[in-house]
Chains A and B, each alone.
Chain A
Amino acid sequence: MNDKVDFELLESIARAKPLWSVILVGPLSIRTPEFRGNFEKLRQLPNVHHLGFRPLETLPNYVRGLDVCLMCYRTDGWAYYGYPLKLHEYLAGGKPVVGSDLPSIRVFSGVISIASTVEEWQSAIEAGLNDNSALESASEYKWPVRILGKNGSTD
């Protein structure tokens, strides 16, 4: 949970959908006082749960327990240049993914949903809740494939 996350947007989604549970996993590392305040407002909501740090080896267990995985990032400043590793981790877990409209995320618009406004986020999450298909594209982003190529060679 760092300055890249759009806590105000998450708050709007959580307020609009009180029957949804918003689960935040990861240690806090928010430097900007304004964003820290936004996070504190967010986590006061009854349907928002910040679980804090969880060990890497347990993250697949958490992904399994989620219905839709979110990459709810700001689209300015530091966040604009981001390329979230969790994009591929979510896809490897076979879950529907919704992400902010960032250049690095837009590349994967064929396999995830991209949203900007609160209404678009709600619609995309609702579509994800009704999507039972596991996504296959993540296999292209296995580390060995990234390093060696699809045919397993360095040619």
Chain B
Amino acid sequence: MLFIWHPRYSNLLGEFGEAVSCYYVDEEFTSYYGMPESEKQQIRAQEEVLLRGVDLVFANGSVLLDQKNKHGNASDVPMGVDFGLFSRALLEETAVPSDLGAMRPPESATSVT
């Protein structure tokens, strides 16, 4: 299986005799602030090779899915979370770091006059 995550590697498609090829796209690579138009055009061309050539496109979220499903081979793969790790924030035993604990708590809206 060939798994490609950036259009710049589009030239590798088919180079390994892969049985399945995937393109995982988690951002719009032509949308960086200040990116020259010539670079955008190059990336668009490279990405089109991927979108047309791979078996599966995994788009991170519905916005990218809309953009990248022009050949009907894309699926929306939403973000997930390490719930076990981050839900530890709910536990009494989880200590607030000292660099936060020393700060003044915010004034709540109910105490604003």
CB distance from B36 to the nearest CB of A (A): 13
How many residues on chain A are close to B (CB under 8 Å)? 57
Residue numbers in A under 8 Å from B103 (CB-CB): 21, 23, 49
Interface of A is mostly: helix
Is B17's CB within 8 Å of the partner chain A? Answer: no
Give the interface size class of chain B. 35 or more
Interface pairs (29), CB distance under 8 Å: A19-B104, A31-B33, A54-B97, A56-B85, A58-B97, A59-B86, A60-B85, A60-B89, A64-B89, A64-B91, A65-B100, A67-B105, A77-B31, A77-B32, A78-B27, A85-B81, A88-B80, A94-B89, A107-B62, A126-B109, A126-B112, A127-B109, A129-B108, A130-B108, A141-B79, A142-B81, A142-B83, A143-B80, A146-B77
Residue numbers in A under 8 Å from B63 (CB-CB): 80-81, 83, 103-104
Complex Cα distance, B78 from A81, in Å, reads 13
Chain B CB within 10 Å — which of A3, A19, A23, A127 has the most?
Answer: A19
Complex Cα distance, B33 from A31, in Å, reads 9
Which of A49, A57, A126, A129 is the one whose CB lies under 8 Å from B85? A57
> Judging by beta carbons under 8 Å apart, are B99 and A21 in contact?
no
A84-133: which residues lie under 8 A (CB-CB) from chain B?
Answer: 84-85, 87-95, 103-104, 107, 126-127, 129-130
Given contacts A83-B26, A83-B64, A94-B90, 11 further A-B contacts (CB under 8 A): A17-B107, A19-B106, A60-B87, A61-B96, A77-B32, A92-B86, A107-B62, A127-B109, A141-B78, A143-B81, A143-B83
